Amino acid sequence: MHSKDQAFGLTVEIKLIDSSGNGHCIVYGPALATGDAEAAAERFAEDGRLMQMQMADPGSTLTRRYSATGLPFAAEMLSYGADGVGPVVGLVFAGVDPASVSPLGGSAQTTTSTDSASARTHFANAVRFCIQPGMSPETRANMFRQAGFVTRSGDYSDNGDTTLVFATPDGSTEVEFYYGQMPEHCFGSSKSLGVTEASEVLDQVVPQLYPGYTRHVEYGVDNPNTGKTPTCVRYEDPTTPIGYVVAVTAGENSNRCSEVGSSSFYHSSRV
């Protein structure tokens, strides 16, 4: 349990997810009026930047209650009054798998590791979440959050256009996800995997989601440091000449098949 008293009359209390799967982040204090707590809960729910929420029955003990949708655990935004404390507003969580929560603190190796196995897992999640069919934008965004990606930046327009940049805590993988009035796009990059390793990840993920897609291989120029030939794979829908494609290229904003120590993936319709 962590709490921080602020000079301006508010206290922030954070209970990290424990073995019970429960946790919360709440705000209270003499500077918080009942109307302010209710308004804060309403604004958070309407904003929808972290998760999509729907109004729920507050019952007799709450003044506002909003429940998250599309999550494998319970998350609610609440406002209420507590004896001896006054108005309270905040997020509460229940039923979270403790193994899915990234620990805070720990050794530098835990928080900054970019070893190959970890980088491959992050990259595989990025590919899977981006290309998985039948997902609403909100559900797709929450898949990243549940897997430990953090929202590094967000651009929200009044017309509904939204661009989110997700990154793993170790910085090895980054994803840009757009949705709104134009067709969705979701693509990512790895600072730790070269194109050959990234292609191996595609070989694991794409056939699971798109069985029957045709695998194509492009070979780049031999890497002088290793003597190995870079391999870039591309998967295409064989049923139509303007079909879906998922592919790997080199990183550093390059569309080449070369080993530069980083890589990226994209998916789109062929035109």
Which regions of the chain does DSSP assign to beta strands (E)?
2-5, 11-15, 23-28, 53-55, 62-68, 74-82, 86-94, 150-156, 162-167, 173-179, 185-190, 214-219, 231-236, 244-250, 263-269
- Token reading at 126: 């990025």
Amino acid 236: pLDDT: 93
180: how many CB neighbours lie within 10 A of its CB?
14
In 10 A of CB 173, how many CB atoms?
Answer: 26
pLDDT, position 1:
47
Alpha carbon distance 74, 94 (integer Å): 5
Rg value, the chain, Cα? 22
Please tell me the distance from the alpha carbon of residue 71 to that of residue 95, in angstroms, as a whole number. Answer: 10
Query: According to the model, what pLDDT value does residue 129 have?
Result: 93
- Which residues does the chain have with pLDDT short of 50? 1-4, 6-7, 104-114, 270-271
pLDDT at 2: 47
- The predicted-structure confidence for 192-225, as pLDDT tens digits, reads as follows 999 999 999 999 999 999 999 999 999 987 766 6
Residue type, 96: V
Which pLDDT does position 99 carry in this prediction?
63
Integer CA distances (angstroms), 142 to 71, 165, 166, 169, in order: 7, 13, 11, 16
- Produce one character per residue of 10-43: b if its CB has 16 or more CB atoms within 10 Å, e if not: ebebeeebeeebbbbebbbbeebeeeebbebbbe
